[in-house]
Amino acid sequence: MKKKKWPDRILVVRHGRSHAQELRDAAERSGALQFELGMPESDAPLVERGRKQAEARGSWLGQLPADLQPTVVLVSPFVRARQTAEIMLAVSGIPQDNLVVKVDDRLRELQHGDLTYFTRKGREQFPAETEKFEKVGELEYRQPNGENRWDVVERLRPLVLELRTRYQGQRVLLVTHSAVIRCLRYLFENLTDEKFLAAVRADDAANCSVTSYARNRKTGRLKPDAVPYLGDPLVD
């Protein structure tokens, strides 16, 4: 049987803490029904903690042996992801002439839809959506004008194919979002639907966390390596 081809290593990093997260958490704590971001969700920048997280993860990246450091960096177009990547790479000290850095729209966050700026309490105003969620389940549910997890999986499939063809033998860093990380895990690890749902519900992709994969040189398969998960670098 022909061996599957993958990059030698894939590191998947979530962006640092963002302005949108700060506002959402404050609204949840206050009991508000919704909050105003004042800009497109894709433009929400990092807050100071997010920048420090990116700096800490960049330092970690720079301390990896040279043969484990990335040679290719693919980044979500969202501002918080691009800022995270820029800070990480600047702090890492990895020579820029050794890197291919690209923004890839397929790594953008799941489009949450019309209820994006409503809190959990606020969404109680939409009982039909709650009923729909309970009927179709967490993987199938779409907010009005939003995406579900399977939509994200389908837009990621061509990217995964490129990883297996264009980037064979490379070491690839992906900087993206929590929902996208779960969908990449589904594709990289061939998860069952049940395990995919468990991963979605785990809510363990902390800001600037790392999910790491290495190609088994004997089988050619991609497997979580010795460091399959590292959480918030300011905590761990």
Say if pTM beats, i.e. exceeds, 0.75. yes
Interval 186-193 mean pLDDT? 96
pLDDT mean over 53-82: 96
Confidence bin at 4 (pLDDT 50/70/90): low
Average pLDDT score over residue span 185-205: 93
Domains of the chain: 9-230 (3.40.50.1240)
Bridge partners of 174, per DSSP, are 12, 74
Residue 140 has pLDDT above 80, yes or no: yes
